[in-house]
């Protein structure tokens, strides 16, 4: 597996662009006749573009995606559909493709009509810049951001067992309203491997489950979440699990970038749950801990208050024996065991708590849990809860 340098433009037949004016940005991705699959928010209130994209993806084919930031186009009724289609038509007319082959996605404030007088000129400007270059990849990355502080991309080359080389490349945005099921996140992934629509959909679902769905910033699940993967079908080869692994890698990388850029976050947290009776149990326990406001504030204060960890495990809803649990806290090569199969190590060795405090002052902290009750594992990704999260979100619309 090789990391590629050109982000979403690492696949040379993909054209990308991005343009921003103030808080409004528009990104376009383009490759005619791509096979496509997508996963959407499970929020009952979902944005107009999701309706449009779901419909346009019914035949498993698209040629372009247009994404705007600054307005979520959610809770906007018929007007929202109309304006979403207007953006799709703009792309279709410019690129001379059917409007049904254009997917649409939006992110921003909910419940306001799209200011087309602002967004349309931005979209036109973005479309003018459509090309394949490192600069275009940057622009595409940047124009979809909202409260994000860093662009997020990942591109790799991998190899099928038959020796065929293929690429997977993606960009995403997401920083707040990040919850158990994808938060306000938009992700767009491309590959050149010829993959059927059904396999693409299945592979995406599987990757999303382990990556974007394991990221929690604040527990609020957005109305606009979309992860879309499109294949240019240029590379033919005997399909095998290497594709899933490559897609997993890209999704996981993007998901971690979201957690690291969580609103106001100063630290990244990984919660690994091992030894669970089922994958579902491992997911529930790790997400419960990574989501806990009290664990998140303890991380912010570098306070090894592990009682909050066992507490969050306890209310996860999963059955386990608290007296068999192990808990450790680590960062890089450092790791301290605080609870060892139910035994609290810090009674005999109080200096362990000091070591844990030193670790919790690092930028990246890994909390490892073992239920000693089975062979399933899961990892959840999150960040600390800081003053800045409050600041950012107390002042977002006004």
Residues 6+ apart with CB under 8 A from 354: none
Q: Is 77 in the site for a copy of itself (CB under 8 A)?
A: yes
In the complex, what is the shortest distance from the CB of residue 281 to a copy of itself, in angstroms, rounded to a whole number?
12
Nearer Cβ to a copy of itself, position 20 or 296? 296
Phi and psi (nearest 5°) for 160? Answer: -75, 165
CA 392 to each of CA 75, 255, 370: distance values in angstroms, whole numbers, following the listed order: 23, 21, 35
* Bridge partners, residue 199, by sequence: none
Q: Is 385 in the site for a copy of itself (CB under 8 A)?
A: yes
Among 131, 235, 277, 396, binds a copy of itself (CB under 8 A): 396
Work out the end-to-end distance of the chain between its first and last CA atoms, rounded to an integer number of angstroms.
45
Q: Is 148 in the site for a copy of itself (CB under 8 A)?
A: no
Furthest C-alpha separation in the chain: 73
DSSP sequence for 116-153: HHHHHHHHHHHHHT-B-SHHHHHHHHHHT-SS-SS-EE
In the complex, what is the shortest distance from the CB of residue 366 to a copy of itself, in angstroms, rounded to a whole number?
19
Among 4, 95, 199, 294, binds a copy of itself (CB under 8 A): 294
Q: Determine how many CB atoms are found less than 10 A away from the CB of residue 145.
A: 25
By annotation, the residues acting in catalysis are 184
Nearer Cβ to a copy of itself, position 8 or 380? 380
147 assigned binding-site residue: no
Q: Is 3 in the site for a copy of itself (CB under 8 A)?
A: no
Q: Is 393 in the site for a copy of itself (CB under 8 A)?
A: yes
157 assigned binding-site residue: no
Q: Is 322 in the site for a copy of itself (CB under 8 A)?
A: yes
DSSP sequence for 184-206: S-EEEEEEEE---HHHHHHHHHH
> In this structure, are residues 364 and 265 in contact, taking their beta carbons and an 8 Å threshold?
no
Size of the site for a copy of itself (CB under 8 A): 68
Please choose, out of 20-28, 54-62, 97-105, 303-311, the segment that lies near a copy of itself by the rule CB under 8 A.
303-311
398 assigned binding-site residue: yes
Q: What residues make contact with a copy of itself under the rule CB under 8 A?
A: 42-46, 72, 74-75, 77, 109-113, 176-177, 179, 181, 218-223, 291-294, 297-298, 300-301, 303-308, 310-316, 318-320, 322-323, 339, 342, 344, 347, 357, 385-387, 389-398
């Amino acid at each position: 597996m090789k990391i590629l340098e050109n982000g979403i433009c690492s696949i040379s037949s993909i054209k990308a662009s991005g343009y921003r004016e103030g808080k409004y940005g528009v990104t376009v991705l383009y490759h005619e006749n791509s096979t496509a699959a997508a996963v959407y928010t499970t929020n009952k209130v979902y944005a107009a573009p999701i309706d449009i994209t779901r419909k346009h993806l019914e035949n498993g084919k698209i040629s372009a995606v247009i994404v705007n930031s600054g307005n979520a186009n959610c809770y906007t009724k018929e007007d929202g559909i109309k304006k979403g289609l207007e953006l799709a038509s703009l792309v279709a007319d410019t690129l001379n493709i059917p409007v049904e082959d254009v997917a649409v996605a939006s992110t921003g404030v909910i419940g306001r009509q799209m200011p087309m007088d602002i967004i349309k000129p931005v979209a036109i400007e973005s479309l003018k810049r459509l090309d394949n270059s490192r600069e275009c990849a940057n622009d595409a990355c940047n124009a979809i951001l909202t409260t994000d502080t860093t662009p997020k991309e990942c591109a790799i080359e991998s190899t099928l067992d038959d020796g065929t080389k293929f690429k997977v490349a993606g960009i995403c945005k997401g920083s707040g309203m990040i919850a158990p099921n994808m938060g306000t996140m938009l992700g767009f992934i491309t590959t050149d491997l010829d993959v059927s629509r059904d396999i693409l959909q299945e592979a995406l679902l599987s990757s999303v489950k382990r990556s974007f769905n394991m990221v929690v910033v604040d527990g609020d699940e957005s109305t606009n979440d979309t992860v879309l993967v499109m294949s240019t079908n240029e590379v033919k080869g005997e399909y095998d699990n290497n594709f899933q692994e490559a897609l997993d890698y890209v999704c996981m990388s993007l998901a971690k970038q979201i957690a690291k850029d969580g609103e106001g976050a100063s630290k990244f947290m990984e919660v690994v749950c091992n030894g669970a009776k089922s994958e579902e149990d491992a997911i529930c326990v790790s997400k419960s801990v990574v989501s806990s406001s009290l664990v998140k504030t303890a991380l912010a204060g570098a306070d090894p208050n592990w009682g909050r960890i066992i507490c969050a495990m306890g209310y996860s809803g999963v059955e386990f024996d608290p007296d068999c649990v192990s808990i450790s806290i680590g960062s890089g090569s450092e790791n301290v065991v605080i609870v060892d199969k139910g035994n609290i190590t810090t009674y005999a060795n109080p200096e362990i708590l000091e070591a844990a405090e030193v670790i919790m002052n690092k930028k990246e902290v890994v909390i490892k849990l073992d239920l000693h009750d089975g062979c399933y594992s899961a990892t959840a990704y999150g960040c600390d809860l800081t003053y800045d999260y409050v600041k950012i979100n107390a002042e977002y619309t006004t």
